[in-house]
């Protein structure tokens, strides 16, 4: 409730208020099935500010975890990009690894738990298969053989040998109860070693993850996750509009090129067990001066089919455009918010369907039907109304909503400054 009232997408409970995105969810769910079979996928979720992009990403994140995927998400920013001269690519990688999550550890930071669970499972398998105990002679050798089966499967991939060496180092730290070696392996996997010398001294490997190679290790981790029992890896890149906002043309081109390499890997089958979903605005995609469509390689890949017309949607294409919620869907959303709010604050008297329509009509009249199509501000204002009514029982719904001072929160797209304009972030 706190997240919704602040206009922020909550991490949990989204299924209770999800409406009107059945086709999109079905398409992304089909992607997950393909990933679990060893495929790869790449999607853009495109919509205006407040249209529900982040909501969709979090919804599919939760769905993927429930189905047994490892997930990692990041909000791109000026400090976190796909490439950059100041290690912005590594900042993105570190954030992804920090946010690594599974069904049993949904809040992030799951990399150590993933490795511990995997090794514990192998210990149990070896004990059951051989009848030996962990202290018996030869037990550790059997365990290492099992671990090397997984590691050897990675060596055919770029940087697979070094990745496997670090996994083996973690196992040996586990076996020797050497927390320093385990911590060094985790630091390497999280991209925290600044020099090759430090990595060689701690782990015996001669390479470190850097701006040029971090995506290769994302692919490695996806294959590794599949090999140890997960269905694959889902990577969510939100706020891609920050790539569009890069003012330096060369830097922006480098980021688009990195994104293109990731796209091509997925579409051409060079990646396995990996799905990447990018959330962005229409300007990020379609602006012919600075957006993806400004580059021919991107435009030819993402342009709409000439057969897609108004009222028709192709959810199999790389780009999923979020359509405006219908009036009926908005009514359903408001009804669900009422139910969740009443359940949370433990009260029985809830707003009627007539009152919900009255609220919706007030917003339409004051903001206009076009801006109503983005639900963020409507939800935020509605939660505010529910909070006021719950805390001030002497106030009636009609008095509050029909008050002349009631002004719905304006949408970001209707402010005087275009947030995507060339000078949106210009300061003296």
Tens digit of pLDDT for each residue in 134-163?
A: 888 889 999 999 999 999 999 889 999 999
54-63, 203-212, 350-359, 397-406: which range is least confident on average?
A: 397-406
- pLDDT, tens digit, for every residue of 108-129? 999 999 999 999 999 999 999 9
Residue 205 has pLDDT above 90, yes or no: yes
In this prediction, residue 374 carries a pLDDT of 65
In the 8-state DSSP scheme, what is residue 412?
Answer: G
Nearest-angstrom CA–CA distance, 188 and 167: 10
21-102+230-321: which CATH topology?
Answer: Rossmann fold (3.40.50)
- What is the separation of C-alpha 5 from the centre of its chain, rounded to a whole number of angstroms? 21
Neighbour count for residue 303 (Cβ, 10 Å): 12
Query: For residue 356, what is the enclosing H or E element?
Result: helix 353-367
Percent of the residues in the chain that have a pLDDT greater than 90, as a whole number: 59
Residue 100: which residues within 8 A CB-CB, separation 6 or more? 70, 71, 72, 108, 109, 110, 111, 114
Which band of pLDDT confidence, cut at 50, 70 and 90, is reported for residue 415? very low
- pLDDT, tens digit, for every residue of 345-360? 888 878 888 888 888 8
Nearest-angstrom CA–CA distance, 400 and 359: 10
Residue 58 has pLDDT above 70, yes or no: yes
For 329, 411, 414, 417, the CA distances from 368, given in Å and listed in that order, are 17, 11, 11, 19
In this prediction, residue 245 carries a pLDDT of 96
Task: Look at residues 412, 46, 34, 390 and name the one whose alpha carbon lies nearest to residue 244.
Answer: 46
Q: Where are the domains of the chain?
A: 21-102+230-321, 112-203, 327-407
Nearest-angstrom CA–CA distance, 362 and 171: 62
In this prediction, residue 428 carries a pLDDT of 42
Which band of pLDDT confidence, cut at 50, 70 and 90, is reported for residue 363? confident
Residue 247: which residues within 8 A CB-CB, separation 6 or more? 422
Residue 271: which residues within 8 A CB-CB, separation 6 or more? 40, 219, 222, 265
In this prediction, residue 310 carries a pLDDT of 64
Q: Which residue has the higher pLDDT, 9 or 280?
A: 280
Nearest-angstrom CA–CA distance, 289 and 277: 24
Residue 112: which residues within 8 A CB-CB, separation 6 or more? 182, 186
């Amino acid at each position: 409730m706190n997240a919704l009232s602040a206009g922020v997408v909550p991490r949990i409970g989204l299924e209770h208020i999800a409406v009107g995105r059945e086709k999109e969810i079905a398409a992304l769910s089909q992607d997950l099935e393909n990933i679990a079979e060893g495929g790869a996928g790449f999607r853009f979720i495109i919509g205006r500010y407040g249209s529900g992009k982040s909501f969709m990403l979090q919804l599919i994140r939760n769905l993927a975890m429930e189905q047994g995927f490892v997930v990692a998400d990041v909000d791109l920013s000026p400090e976190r990009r796909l490439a950059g001269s100041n290690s912005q690519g590594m900042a993105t990688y570190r954030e992804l690894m920090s946010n690594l999550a599974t069904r049993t550890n949904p809040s992030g930071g799951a990399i150590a738990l993933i490795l511990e669970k995997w090794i514990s499972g192998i210990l149990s398998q070896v004990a059951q298969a051989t009848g030996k105990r962990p202290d018996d002679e030869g037990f550790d050798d059997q365990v290492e053989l099992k671990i090397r089966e997984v590691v050897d499967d990675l060596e055919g991939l770029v940087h697979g040998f070094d990745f496997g060496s670090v996994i083996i180092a973690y196992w040996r730290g586990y076996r020797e109860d050497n927390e320093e070696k385990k911590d060094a392996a985790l630091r390497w996997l999280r991209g925290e070693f600044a020099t090759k010398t430090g990595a060689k001294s701690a782990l015996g490997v001669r390479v470190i993850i850097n701006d040029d190679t971090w995506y290769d290790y994302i692919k490695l981790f996806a294959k590794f996750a599949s090999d140890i029992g997960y269905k694959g890896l889902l990577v969510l890149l939100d706020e891609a509009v920050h790539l569009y906002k890069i003012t330096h043309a060369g830097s922006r081109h480098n980021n688009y090129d990195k994104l293109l390499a990731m796209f091509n890997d997925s579409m051409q089958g060079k990646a396995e067990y990996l799905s990447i979903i990018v959330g962005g605005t229409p300007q990020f995609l379609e602006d012919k001066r600075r957006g993806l469509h400004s580059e021919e390689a991107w435009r030819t890949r993402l342009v709409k089919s000439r057969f897609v017309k108004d009222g028709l949607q192709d959810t199999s294409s790389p780009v999923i455009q979020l359509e405006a919620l219908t009036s009926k869907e908005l009514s359903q959303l408001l009804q669900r918010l009422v139910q969740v709010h009443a359940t949370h604050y433990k009260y029985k008297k809830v707003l009627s369907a007539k009152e919900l329509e009255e609220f919706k009509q007030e917003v339409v009249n004051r903001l206009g039907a076009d801006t109503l199509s983005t639900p963020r501000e409507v939800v935020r204002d509605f939660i505010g109304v529910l909070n006021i009514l719950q805390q001030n029982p002497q106030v009636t719904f009609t008095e509050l909503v029909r008050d002349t001072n009631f002004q719905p929160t304006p949408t970001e797209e209707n402010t005087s400054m275009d947030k995507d304009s060339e000078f949106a972030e210009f300061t003296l």
